[in-house]
Amino acid sequence: MPSQRTWTKLRRFLWPVAMLYWGLAWWRNFFYNIGFFITRRVSVPVVSIGNLSVGGTGKTPATIYTALHLLGLGYKVGIVSRGYGRRSTGTLLVSDQSGVLETPLAVGDEPYLVASRLPGVPVLVDEDRYRGASVMIGRFKPDLIILDDAFQHRGLARDCNIVLLDAGSPRTDYRIFPYGTLREHLGALRRADLVIWTRTNTESPAPVLKRKISKLGVTQIDSAMVISPQLVNVTTGEMVPVERLRGERLLAFCGIAQPLTFYQALIFLELEPEAVRYYPDHFIYTEHEMSYLSGLSDNNQLLMVTTEKDAVKLNRGFLDRHRIYALRVEFSLAGRDLEVFQDTLAMYLQLPHVTPPAGEA
């Protein structure tokens, strides 16, 4: 991997590519804005949870949080996702009211994780979000639909656009891909109804970025990514207090967009791993790689710990041979930020304002 100094030099040559990428995104949005590209509307309110950047900002935990919040207010929710990285196309039902129906390979790791965490909530994947939403409404008749990772997908009209920004990302990331990590210019946030900064319990957003977004007239709130004091026994589903694992010799592995946050979370929990293995985001664990991890664990007598997103992609044989625990990270809002979030949903989705359940304020 190139050094930071080398990477800084290489980035200069990516500027023309970034300008081409920006131009394509600008013209695409222009054609949507003038109605040349069609945006279609479905019969129920739609809220989108998305971001501007390539990589993770906490969309999956935020989607789960939003669904639980609305369920707690008594609404029937359906979730539609593209299913990034899945080995299928078209409309595919991930889960219905009876349980999960497909594999992570078929539907993508994030929709599978959402379905696993939200029993009884229908989850569906479709690269055509309008088609997917129409199928969801026809089959399950939800009161509203949550679109996961859909800020740039403008073919389906949404009533509320929520965009997540990572408070820990450096200012240099807020440039157009591949010069930075943005899929669109910051000005695209004019389409957003609410911007949520994630990980503000550990990081602070750059003040200059907050000022730029304020000038766009978009409401901003802060959220926290809370590390659960219990880990999930991946084989049994049991929640295990972290104290029970302290003192164990650990092998940590993950395939997420920001692997350093996983390592930092383990350190925060006083679980310092002896060996660490990082993979690309949405990594598919092959038999060869699981055999490698097995050997590394067995030969060094290491207990394995990973993320929930990675855990869903490990096969049963691998899980049966090892004790493996998954770190759970929760999206959280509190105080005024929670009130703004609730008021935004109530206003744009035309839902009656309901006082949040006890424990959320």
Structure tokens at 326: 């998954």
Q: For the domain 46-225+332-348, what is the CATH superfamily, name and number?
A: P-loop containing nucleotide triphosphate hydrolases (3.40.50.300)
The whole-angstrom separation of Cα 361 and Cα 355 is: 9
pLDDT the model gives residue 176: 79
Helices (H) and strands (E) in the chain, counts: 11, 17
Give the pLDDT score at 256.
92
Q: Per residue of the chain (361 residues), what is the pLDDT tens digit? A: 444 455 456 666 776 777 787 788 888 888 888 889 899 999 999 999 999 888 778 899 999 999 999 999 999 999 999 998 898 999 999 999 899 999 999 999 999 999 999 999 999 999 999 999 999 999 999 999 999 988 999 999 999 999 999 998 888 788 877 777 888 889 999 999 999 999 998 888 888 999 999 999 999 999 999 999 999 999 899 999 999 999 999 999 999 988 989 999 999 999 999 999 999 999 999 999 999 999 999 999 999 999 999 999 999 999 999 999 999 999 999 999 999 999 999 999 887 554 554 444 4
Domain definitions of the chain by residue range: 46-225+332-348, 229-327
**CA-to-CA distance for 149 and 145, rounded, in angstroms?**
13
Backbone angles phi, psi at 123, to 5 degrees: -125, 135
Q: Could you tell me the maximum CA-CA distance found in the chain, to the nearest angstrom?
A: 62
| Cα–Cα distance for residue pair 335/344, rounded to 1 Å | 14
Separation of alpha carbons 305 and 308, rounded Å: 10
- Asked, as a colleague might, if the bond just before 178 is cis with ω within 30 of 0, I would say yes
Q: Within 10 A of 247 (CB to CB), how many other CB atoms are there? A: 9
SS3 labels along 114-170: HHHHCCCCCEEECCCHHHHHHHHHHHHCCCEEEEECCCCCCCECCCEEEEEEECCCC
- The C-alpha angle with vertex 114 and arms to 254 and 43, in degrees rounded to 5, equals 145
